[in-house]
Amino acid sequence: MKQKIRLIQRRTVHYLLVMTYWLARRLPIDKQKVVFATYRSDKLVDNFRAVYDELESRDLGFSYVFLLKRFPQGLFGQIKYVFHMMRATYELATARYFIIDDYYYPVYVSSLRQGTEVIQLWHACGAFKKFGYSVLDKSYSPDDDYLKMVQIHRNYSKVYVSGTACIAPYAEAFGMDAARVHPLGVPRTDQLLNPARQAHVEQKLYADYPEWRSKKIILLAPTFRGNGQTTAHYDEELDFEQFRQELGSEYILLLRMHPFVLNRPVVPAEFSDQIIDMTDYPDINDLMQISDILVTDYSSVIFEFALLKKPIIFLVNDLTSYKEERDFYFPYESFVPGPIVSSFNEVIAWVKQGQFESEKIEEFARQFFTYQDGQATKRIVDHLLDHVQSPAVSPEKTTIV
C-alpha cells in the first residue's frame, strides 16, 4: 500500500511539472537569463560562486536567478518543495542557461525547447563512486517505477569535468555522448591553486583559532552511507580518548561530515579543544588548505586534496558491501593514493608512522586533472559563451528563490 501511495505521489509531482513546463514554454526565452539551481545548498558557493563571479566580471548584462534550496526532510517541507520545483520548471522553460551541480529533477521531466542550455557543473571532481546509469544493477539505483517515469540525467547540453580520465565514466553515468563531456576543470579548485587566497585563508582561520598555528591538523571528511538525504548516516567509531593519548596535544582533529549525514559524531566537552566539528563551516577548501593530512573513505574530496600534494589515509571497514551497493569506476585497492585502514586506531598508527608516498599522490592528481593552473573557471566560461556577444545595455536583475 505504501509503495502504491508513493507511486501516486511521484506521478502527481511529475505531471504537475510536465504541465508547468508546457504552459511556461508559451513564453519567450529570456536570452539574458542565467539560472543557478541546486538542492545541495541554500547559499551560492563552490562552483556556482566561481562561475557567477566570472560571468559578472565580464559585464555581459545577464540577469540571474538563484534557486538555492536544500531538499527538506519533513512532509510539510516536501510539499512546499513541490511548488519550488514548479518555479524551477518555469525558470528552466524561459532561461538561456540553466546551471546545475547535481541531479535536478525538473530538468528531466520534459524535452527542452531549442534555445535553452542545461549546464552540468557536477559537484565532485574526478571519477570515483559509480552513479547514474552506471548503477542500474545496484541497490543504490532508483527503482524501476521511477526510471520508467523519468529519464534521469537527460537534457544536459554540456558537462564539465576535471580531466580526460573522467570523460568515459561521466558519459556512461549520464547516458550521453562523450563529445558533450568537456575536461576543462572544476571551478572551485581554482581557489586551492591560488597562493594569495591560501595566505588569506590561513590568516582568517588562524585569527579565529590562533592555537591551530602551532599544531598539525588532521581533517576527517568522509562521505555518507545510505541511498540519499533521507537515509544518510555515518557509523564509524571514533575513539577521541585514544586520539589524545596517542598523538598528544600536538594534533587537532577537524570533523567535516557530509551535509546529508544526520547522526554526526558527538564530541564530548572535555575534547572540544582538540576535536572540532567543522561540518557547518561554509567552505571545505579552507579546511583542506590548512590541514596536513586528510582522512576519508569514498569521498571525492580526495581529488581536491591531491592537488595540494598532501597525505591521505582511507578509513574503510565496509569495502565489500560498498562495492555491492555502489562500486567504483576503478579498482579501489589500486586506485586510491594512500594507505587503506579499517579502524580509527590504524589511522592513528599511520599518523605516528608518518611514511606516505608523495609520488603516488602527485601521479593521482596528474591522472584526473588535465590542467593544474588555477584557470578552470575562465576556461569553462569561455567555452560556455563561445558564441555570445556583449549586449548594448541591459540592466542587471538578480532573483534568489
How much of the chain exceeds pLDDT 90, in percent?
Answer: 76
pLDDT of residue 394: 46
Q: Tell me the C-alpha to C-alpha distance, in Å, between residue 140 and each of 147, 231, 236, 324, 393.
A: 13, 12, 20, 9, 49
The CATH superfamily assigned to 195-368 is: CDP-glycerol glycerophosphotransferase, C-terminal domain (3.40.50.12580)
Q: What is the pTM of this model?
A: 0.88
Average pLDDT, the chain: 91
pLDDT at 388 over 70: no
Contact indicator for 397, 63 with CB cutoff of 8 Å:
yes
Tell whether the model's pLDDT for residue 401 goes beyond 70.
Answer: no
Higher pLDDT, 239 or 146: 239
Q: Is the pLDDT of residue 42 over 80?
A: yes
The 10s digit of each residue's pLDDT in 48-89 is 999 999 999 999 999 999 999 988 878 888 889 999 999 999
Q: Is the pLDDT of residue 387 over 60?
A: no
Per-residue pLDDT of 308-338, as tens digits, reads: 999 999 999 999 999 998 899 999 999 999 9
What is the grid cell recorded at 312? Answer: 591521505
Please determine, for residue 20, whether its predicted confidence score (pLDDT) is greater than 50.
yes
Buried-exposed string 349-379: b where 16+ CB fall within 10 A, e elsewhere: ebbeeeebeeeebeebbebbbbebebebbbb
pLDDT at 391 over 70: no
The string of pLDDT tens digits covering residues 346-371 is 999 999 998 898 999 999 999 999 99
Per CATH, domain 2-189+375-400 is 3.40.47.10: no
Q: In sequence order, what are the beta bridge partners of 184?
A: none
- pLDDT of res. 186: 97
- CATH 3.40.50.11820 occupies which residues in the chain? 2-189+375-400
pLDDT of 146: 81
302, 309 in Cβ contact below 8 A? Answer: no
pLDDT tens-digit map of 369-385: 999 999 999 999 999 99
Mean pLDDT computed over 286-296: 96
Per-residue pLDDT at 397? 55
Question: What are the residues whose beta carbons fall under 8 Å from the beta carbon of 201, sequence distance 6 or more?
Answer: 285, 286, 289, 290
Q: What does the pLDDT read at residue 217?
A: 98
Q: Select from 181, 132, 138 the least CA-distant residue to 158.
A: 181
Q: Where in the chain is the domain with CATH 3.40.50.12580?
A: 195-368
- Amino acid identity, position 210: P
- 47 and 36 Cβ atoms separated by less than 8 Å: no
- Report residue 180: phi and psi, to 5°: -95, 5
Report helix, strand or coil for 243. helix
Mind listing the pLDDT tens digit for each residue in 172-226? Answer: 999 999 999 999 999 999 999 999 999 999 999 999 999 999 999 999 999 877 7
